[in-house]
Amino acid sequence: MEFIVSGSTDGCGSSNVCTLASLENLNHLGGYLCISGLGNVVDFCEAKKAELKKKKNLLHVDLFFNSNKEEGRTNEEDKFLLEALQPPSNLEQLKIAQYRGNTLSPSWLIPLTKLRRPTLSYCENCERLPPLGRLPSLEYLSVNNMSGLKRVGDEFLGIESDVASSSSSSSLIVAFPKLKYLKFESLDEWEEWDTTTRRREDEEDVVTIMPCLRNLTIDFCIELKALPDYIVRKTTLEELNINLCSKLKERYERGIGEDWSKISHIPNVNIESTLRPAYESQRDSFYSE
């Protein structure tokens, strides 16, 4: 089901354009729900009235913060709205697009223990990724068009506080325990991807990161300098695709890159300066399984 927000406050303006309050009593909704036009919301109390969290049969929700108005909202307004749009706890797929906040960590995100496929798209003001490594069921992750993102570190893994608290413990921390497919695309300002707090004083690993990762794709990330150690030494990785990433291409180019030896154990490595035709036709269906 697609639901288009009009921005008016007098109920439904047409047969397919309504306010969020119109969703209040539709607790029978199931399967897929796409809410677009969230940039048109005038009364933020309407978002709470939608009561998405009560719609227990919803498994897939898309939230598009686009608008038909010339003036955009502030970062704080989008953050308030996203927080109010809490989905049901059994959600499996979630897409957040065109969100204008500079942080993307609503309180309800990490408690979504059944979430398998999140997509973050055109959240151009976001400077940090949420701690998605804490999601126990996550299998597919796509992040694209976040021009405010310059660094990805421990905050993405969700391990910052856990590493500190486990320094005297023998238990290991697992970040992204079920992640199989990871894709980054069109992150224009992204320069660094690394983690800094992975070892104890005795040099034993504190964290296990992405133990099931099979496919990594990085497209149009022209400023990214290097892959983190936990990626290049990963023995489970079956396919690595790097497309239109000039600095990565120079560093990892087959046979001649200074760090080619670090990824040469991966069975399928594709590093291109242009998109291959076959890949170009398939990339939009990367998460269609």
Q: Write out the chain's pLDDT in tens, 289 residues.
A: 888 887 544 444 444 447 888 888 888 888 999 999 998 887 778 888 899 999 999 999 999 998 876 566 667 889 999 999 999 999 999 999 999 999 999 999 999 999 999 999 999 999 999 999 999 999 999 999 999 999 999 999 997 655 555 554 556 789 999 999 999 999 999 999 987 655 444 445 678 999 999 999 999 999 999 999 999 988 899 999 999 999 999 999 999 999 999 999 999 999 987 655 544 444 444 444 4
pLDDT for the residue 286: 47
The candidate with the shortest Cα–Cα distance to 97, out of 131, 75, 66, 76, is 66
Distance of CA 225 to the CA centre of its chain: 21
Quick check: 49 and 82 in contact, CB under 8 A?
no
Distance of CA 2 to the CA centre of its chain: 22
Q: What is the pLDDT of residue 160?
A: 66
**β-strands 215-219, 181-185 pairing:** parallel
Residue 191 to residue 73: CA distance in whole angstroms: 28
Which residue matches tokens 């910052």?
160
Q: Can you give the pLDDT at residue 45? A: 82
Round to the nearest angstrom and report the end-to-end CA distance of the chain.
20
- Alpha carbons 131 and 175: distance in angstroms, whole number: 9
The beta-carbon contacts of 280-287 under 8 Å, at least 24 apart in sequence, are 283/217, 283/219, 286/142, 286/181, 286/183, 286/217, 287/117, 287/119, 287/140, 287/142, 287/181, 287/183
pLDDT at 15: 44
- Taking alpha carbons only, the member of 206, 182, 204 closest to residue 193 is 182
CA distance 78 to 174: 31
Q: Is 138 helix (H, G, I), strand (E, B) or coil?
A: coil
Residue 199 is given by DSSP the state: B
pTM for the model: 0.86
* pLDDT computed for residue 206 by the predictor: 73
What confidence score (pLDDT) does residue 7 get? Answer: 55
Give the pLDDT confidence score for residue 16 in this predicted structure: 47
pLDDT of res. 276 = 54
Residue type, 207: V
